[in-house]
Amino acid sequence: MKPLLQVLAGHALPRPPVWLMRQAGRYLPEYRELRAKAPNFIEFCLNPEAAAEVTLQPVRRFGMDGAILFADILLIPHALGQPVAFEAGEGPRLEPIRDAAGVAKLSDARAAETLAPVMETVKRVRAGLPAETTLIGFAGAPWTVATYMIEGRGKTDYENCRRMMWSEPKLFAALIDKLVDATAAYLIAQADAGAEALKIFDSWAGAVPATLFDMAVTEPTARIVRAVRARHPSIPIIGLPRGAGSHVAHYAAETGVNAVAIDHMTDIAAVPLPKGVAAQGNLDPMLLMTGGAAMDEEARRIIAAMAGRPFIFNLGHGVLQHTPVEHVGRLIDVVKGRA
Ligand code: 1CP
């Protein structure tokens, strides 16, 4: 079995497998070159030839144990009919959904057709990957995707989301229900196409008021996990409840994920995960940017702290845009015991 899949099955390996969130992307010159040729980011994600190529770029250069499908969590709102645009240097812009009419307009009637190119990307990547490398498909978790759909952009204080959750819980639940169904169908299609593991990114889980955490994060994720397992009983699923702090162990137990990605704010060795659930993480992406002896030491410290447990080396969040390419190569060498 491939090393990453062994760990996701609950086994501890002498050397942890490694991949990095956002390992494909703007820090790589070969990514920037291809990206510059695409008219816009959504079209780039929905171009199987380009998306398969950028998925493979970091694996070719550095030999990670996992390849993460090149796509974006905002393909789901796009597929449900909500206009999504990426403005250069400004991040995503969506027409915000704030009322029942906005939620009612979302339709999954054409979602499978819109997302079909992603499945073609999955097939191409599977065909082009080294035998030991695992292809990880993914989607955003309903809460994190909803933050963009409600606010209309990233990097906010989630004020409209929190207002809706508290004052119009039925409306919020209706939006989450649509996202659960669309996301489960999307992940099942990725698994049908050849994804070997799946990841559910709840990047903004840390913004949810504690009282509402289960309603917004744990339960929607658990529903997606159950739906995927009904079709693909043995596909491993990684959850990232980023910023969830004290909720992480509860999230792991209640969602039924096989692995939990731990952010860099959390002491990874101290998280009480259920038996057999793997941990993934959690080097600070800033340390990958700054590099040097401090990076090597921290990587070795994390590996030593997780020895004997099912563990996948990764960052606590995505590779930052201005990260020197050499630092990424060095980190992979350190984790693989080549340096
Ligand atoms: O023009 C560009 O090149 C845009 C930059 C970019 C890239 C490279 C975006 C826009 N998305 C992606 C790819 C991407 N996004 C991947 C595949 C590449 C890889 O991981 O190697 C994945 C898994 C994502 C997932 C994603 N998109 C998340 C969850 C993971 C995380 O980083 O927390 C989120 C929150 C997004 C939204 C998003 N996509 C892009 C931007 C600029 C943003 C907004 C981020 C924010 O709100 O701060």
Q: What is the predicted pLDDT for the residue at 35? A: 96
pLDDT value at position 139?
Answer: 98
pLDDT attached to residue 90: 85
Q: What is the pLDDT of residue 89?
A: 79
User: For the whole prediction, is pTM greater than 0.95?
Assistant: yes
Q: What separation in Å is there between the alpha carbon of 304 and the centre of ligand 1? A: 30
Cα 148 to Cα 135: distance, rounded to the nearest angstrom: 26
Looking at residue 293, its pLDDT comes to 98
Cβ of 26 closer than 6 Å to ligand 1, yes or no, is yes
Is residue 38 left, alpha or beta, with left meaning phi > 0 and alpha meaning psi from -120 to 50?
Answer: beta
Q: Degrees (nearest 5) of the Cα angle 116, 57, 239? A: 60
Tokens of 241: 């409840």
Residue 77 CB–ligand 1 contact under 6 Å: no
Nearest residue (by CA) to ligand 1, atom 12, is 72
C-alpha of residue 74 to centroid of ligand 1, in Å:
9
DSSP letters spanning 166-180? HH-HHHHHHHHHHHH
**Residues in CB range of 230: below 8 A, 6 or more apart:** none
Provide the strand spans (E) within the chain: 66-68, 84-87, 91-94, 134-140, 197-202, 237-241, 259-261, 278-283, 311-315
Residues in the chain: 339
Other beta carbons within 10 angstroms of residue 91's beta carbon come to: 11
Residue in the structure block whose two tokens are 């057999």: 276
Residue 24 has a pLDDT of: 96
Identify the three-state secondary structure at position 245.
Answer: helix
| Catalytic-residue membership of 15 | no
Cis ω on the peptide bond leading into residue 282 (within 30° of 0)?
yes
Domain positions in the chain are 3-335
Question: How far apart are alpha carbons 150 and 111 in whole angstroms?
Answer: 19
- For residue 332, give Cα distances in angstroms to 225, 264, 279, 300: 30, 18, 18, 11
Predicted confidence at residue 130, as pLDDT, reads 97
What is the DSSP track for 69-96?
Answer: -S--TTHHHHHTT--EEEETTTEEEE--
Measured from the CB, is residue 21 less than 6 Å from ligand 1? Answer: yes
Closest ligand 1 atom, residue 21 Cα: 20
Cα–Cα distance measured from residue 339 to residue 336, given in angstroms and rounded to the nearest whole number? 8
Cβ of 41 less than 6 Å from ligand 1: yes
Domain at 3-335: CATH architecture = Alpha-Beta Barrel (3.20)
Neighbouring-strand partners of residue 18: 313
Count of CB atoms situated within 10 Å of the CB of 105: 12
The pLDDT score that the predictor gives to residue 61 is 97
Instruction: Give me the residues of the chain with pLDDT under 50, please.
Output: none
